[in-house]
Structure 1
Amino acid sequence: MDLIPSFSIETWVLLATSLVLLYLYGTYSHGVFKKLGIPGPKPLPFFGNILAYQKGIWDFDKECFKKYGKVWGFYDGGRPVLAILDPDMIKTVLVKECYSTFTNRRIFGPVGVMKNAITLAEDEQWKRIRILLSPSFTSGKLKEMFPIIGQYGDVLLRNLRKEAEKGKPVTMKDIFGPYSMDVITSTSFGVNVDSLNNPQDPFVKNGRKLLRFDFLDPLLIVSSMWTIFRCTHEAPGGV
């Protein structure tokens, strides 16, 4: 019994051509950073470097930083993503050219109606929403928030002192996560959750469920596949 099918030469040529075209289609944007002389991990066809996230996004970033330095490039499917840790470049992106060049943000999955959120809107839509929201963040209104932020900062310090007295390692996420939640709920919604001292509050428990990140979650897997195919169809110039 032959293990290799007895196809005609024409069929083999067609099959080989199809596989080559499929490979080229899945890697057509993967040469962007190489042309620019920017180092980075080698991407896989269609997937890019997404599978490397299984070790954890933070561990992936630390590994790339140690290997490639303060600037490297990787791929979300077919979308080129430039990672920078240089303070001057970060200031240029987030401050100097934030409102003219770098208005769009990275999208990880289907967004639906959330495409109009300030963190997901793009180009002119983003600028329109920013103009509407700017009055809510004037210097006067921000100053009104300082006492609230300071109040929860004091609670944060007290909790840190308690943990320090125990002489055991502390997971900073478990300390600063509730602090951030308290500040946001108080300044934005006027709700005093006190999640630092009341971790079993329903608001806190549901907030943690919302932010829990599991790479084996079916919804996340579906979203990742959507990202892969969406990014594969994007122009390689959209870094």
Structure 2
Amino acid sequence: MEFLELFHLEINGPMVTVALILVLLALLKWYSISAFSSLEKLGIRHPKPLPFIGNMTFFRQGFWESHMKLIKTYGPLCGYYLGRQMYIVVYDPHMIKEVLVKNFSNFTNRMMSGMETKPVADSILFLRNKRWEEVRSVLTPAFSPKRLDEVIPLISQACDLLLTHLKPYAESGEAFDIQRCYGCYTLDVIASVAFGFQVDSQKTPDDPFVKHCRRFFKVSIPRFVVILILSFPSIMIPLARVLPNKNRDEVNAFLSKVIGTVIALRDKQAEEQRRRDFLQILLDARSSPSSVSTELLDNVRQDAQDGELPTHQITSNVQQKALTTDEIVGQAFIFLIAGYETITNTLSFVTYLLATNSECQEKLLREVDQFSERNAELKFSTLEEELPYLEMVIAETLRMYPPAFRFSQEARQRQPPFTYLPFGAGPRSCIGAKMAILEIKLTLLGILRKFKFETCSETQIPLQLKSRSALGPQNGVYIKIVPR
């Protein structure tokens, strides 16, 4: 007080208010830029971030176009900020290998926004530390060649339905959007393999399962809410968690109930009556705890054989603990989330490239015919070993239109797909790529045995793209199919 009297200042209400406002503004300014020094400290080039929102305005054209512009401007190792969250972009194949294979132990847990709810929060995508290892030890055997052979008949059944729906288009010669057909087909496969029952989503679009799955993917957050969440996560995320979300809650409750009903039914059935799908494989693991050796990355074993990694980094013995019902439901949800859009879009891109590159399609057709003559029964091993050109077609498609990061021998030799990584995240559930590639191969094999693709006046050349959660065709893929 005496100090203030020296300057003839008196404390009153307005003065306190002004002082508090100035302090608040100073704190607000500090908060608006305090998160934007990390990339600079690491020596990683990036666009200049704006207060609060970071580089969100940089992505107004979509993630695909903006990432390519980012890489072209700032190099193969660059970064950006979405709100206060830092992201690092890696575009160089050797650097990607260093990060995701040789130094995978530095990228232990995936980034979590704090808004994850059950059952997704119990999936392998978001489980943490020791529990992730335990669940992964259960899932890894589920994607062995022997287990994948068991689900091939289920995928083939869904593929037969797809061929039935494609036949009228082949007979009429009309152009149509094949992406829509692939979307229905992928949903049928997910229902059959992950949720344990058959559905024909193209014939019965009003089926409750189909309707709830489509509702699941139509959930969207208004842009201004996204900006608020990214800019003020410590306030907005807890608020978003407690606010009611009727659509999300109804979808989660329905799908959880569906799986719960199937699980209850399976438990009452004799072993020989149970359907051999992914869900049953997880249920079988509940009653057979054991110590298993789990591969932390699918690529590590091959790299070790090449002499690039010491053997002790490949595997770790993990005591297998039974999955809870919530965790089983969570893995089924991941099939839906990770499989639907990416597989639908990849099949659409492959079809587009084959239709617009007739020489490549003819070469693939010859391989398909030769394979069909040699193999009456479909097995995972034969699909892996005897369709090298189909493997190349899929790898090249993923290189040109990467819906998600995938390591392959073909892709390593060519211009790489980029991957954008949250700081501290890694590709820990890449075992699902085996199932995805298997489904894509079976689908193309089934279609190309009977039909071939052709362009038409409605075919977009070049194809216009959209990029939200995954890269996909903006207006579908319009083609004609011709009987062989």
The alpha-carbon distance between structure 1 residues 94 and 185, as it changes in their structure 2 partners (threshold 3 A), is: farther
Higher relative strand content: 2
Q: CA deviation at 1:208?
A: 0.7
The alpha-carbon distance between structure 1 residues 118 and 238, as it changes in their structure 2 partners (threshold 3 A), is: closer
Secondary structure of residue in 2 paired with 1:43: coil
Task: State the alpha-carbon separation in 2 of the partners of residues 46 and 139 from structure 1.
Answer: 49
Give unpaired runs (5+ residues) of structure 2.
1-13, 236-421, 426-484
Match of 2:51?
Answer: 45
Q: CA deviation at 1:143?
A: 1.9
Match of 1:110?
Answer: 115
- Of 132, 139, 144, the residue aligned with 1:133 is 139
Match of 1:167?
Answer: 175
- On the 8 A contact 2:71/2:91 being kept in 1, the answer is no
Match of 1:60?
Answer: 63
Task: State the alpha-carbon separation in 2 of the partners of residues 41 and 84 from structure 1.
Answer: 15
TM-score, normalised with respect to structure 1:
0.68
The alpha-carbon distance between structure 1 residues 201 and 11, as it changes in their structure 2 partners (threshold 3 A), is: closer
Task: State the alpha-carbon separation in 2 of the partners of residues 154 and 86 from structure 1.
Answer: 40
Amino acid at match of 1:63: S
Match of 1:30?
Answer: 36
Residue 212 in structure 1 maps to residue 222 in structure 2? no
- On the 8 A contact 2:53/2:83 being kept in 1, the answer is yes
Q: CA deviation at 1:153?
A: 4.1
Task: State the alpha-carbon separation in 2 of the partners of residues 139 and 96 from structure 1.
Answer: 25
The alpha-carbon distance between structure 1 residues 67 and 111, as it changes in their structure 2 partners (threshold 3 A), is: closer
Number of equivalences: 220
Task: State the alpha-carbon separation in 2 of the partners of residues 224 and 171 from structure 1.
Answer: 35
- On the 8 A contact 1:103/1:123 being kept in 2, the answer is yes
| Aligned residue runs from structure 1 range 1-239, under 5 A | 15-16=21-22, 18-50=24-56, 55=60, 59-69=62-72, 71-90=77-96, 97-98=103-104, 100-114=105-119, 115-153=121-159, 155-156=161-162, 162=169, 165-167=173-175, 170=177, 172=179, 174-216=180-222, 221=225, 225-226=228-229, 228-230=231-233, 238=424
- On the 8 A contact 2:54/2:81 being kept in 1, the answer is yes
Amino acid at match of 1:106: M
Greater Rg over alpha carbons, structure: 2
- On the 8 A contact 1:182/1:193 being kept in 2, the answer is yes
- On the 8 A contact 1:26/1:45 being kept in 2, the answer is yes
Secondary structure of residue in 1 paired with 2:200: coil
Give the root-mean-square deviation of aligned CA atoms: 3.9
The alpha-carbon distance between structure 1 residues 107 and 179, as it changes in their structure 2 partners (threshold 3 A), is: farther
Task: State the alpha-carbon separation in 2 of the partners of residues 205 and 36 from structure 1.
Answer: 47
Task: State the alpha-carbon separation in 1 of the partners of residues 110 and 45 from structure 2.
Answer: 22
Task: State the alpha-carbon separation in 1 of the partners of residues 89 and 234 from structure 2.
Answer: 17
Q: CA deviation at 1:206?
A: 1.5
Q: CA deviation at 1:231?
A: 6.8
Secondary structure of residue in 2 paired with 1:83: strand
Amino acid at match of 2:54: G
The alpha-carbon distance between structure 1 residues 67 and 76, as it changes in their structure 2 partners (threshold 3 A), is: closer
Task: State the alpha-carbon separation in 2 of the partners of residues 227 and 184 from structure 1.
Answer: 32
Amino acid at match of 1:166: E
Q: CA deviation at 1:207?
A: 0.6
Q: CA deviation at 1:212?
A: 0.9
- On the 8 A contact 1:26/1:46 being kept in 2, the answer is yes
- On the 8 A contact 2:205/2:211 being kept in 1, the answer is yes
The alpha-carbon distance between structure 1 residues 189 and 11, as it changes in their structure 2 partners (threshold 3 A), is: closer
Deviations 1:133-152 (A, max 9, x none): 33433331112122333443
Secondary structure of residue in 2 paired with 1:73: strand
The alpha-carbon distance between structure 1 residues 18 and 125, as it changes in their structure 2 partners (threshold 3 A), is: same
Task: State the alpha-carbon separation in 2 of the partners of residues 119 and 28 from structure 1.
Answer: 29
Task: State the alpha-carbon separation in 1 of the partners of residues 193 and 175 from structure 2.
Answer: 33
Match of 1:4?
Answer: none
Secondary structure of residue in 1 paired with 2:87: strand
- On the 8 A contact 2:58/2:66 being kept in 1, the answer is no
Q: CA deviation at 1:41?
A: 3.9
TM-score, normalised with respect to structure 2:
0.38
Match of 2:460?
Answer: none
- On the 8 A contact 1:71/1:83 being kept in 2, the answer is yes
The alpha-carbon distance between structure 1 residues 237 and 87, as it changes in their structure 2 partners (threshold 3 A), is: closer
Percent identity, aligned pairs only?
34
Task: State the alpha-carbon separation in 2 of the partners of residues 229 and 41 from structure 1.
Answer: 21
Task: State the alpha-carbon separation in 1 of the partners of residues 216 and 203 from structure 2.
Answer: 20
Amino acid at match of 2:111: R
Q: CA deviation at 1:209?
A: 0.7
Q: CA deviation at 1:210?
A: 0.9
Task: State the alpha-carbon separation in 2 of the partners of residues 210 and 19 from structure 1.
Answer: 41
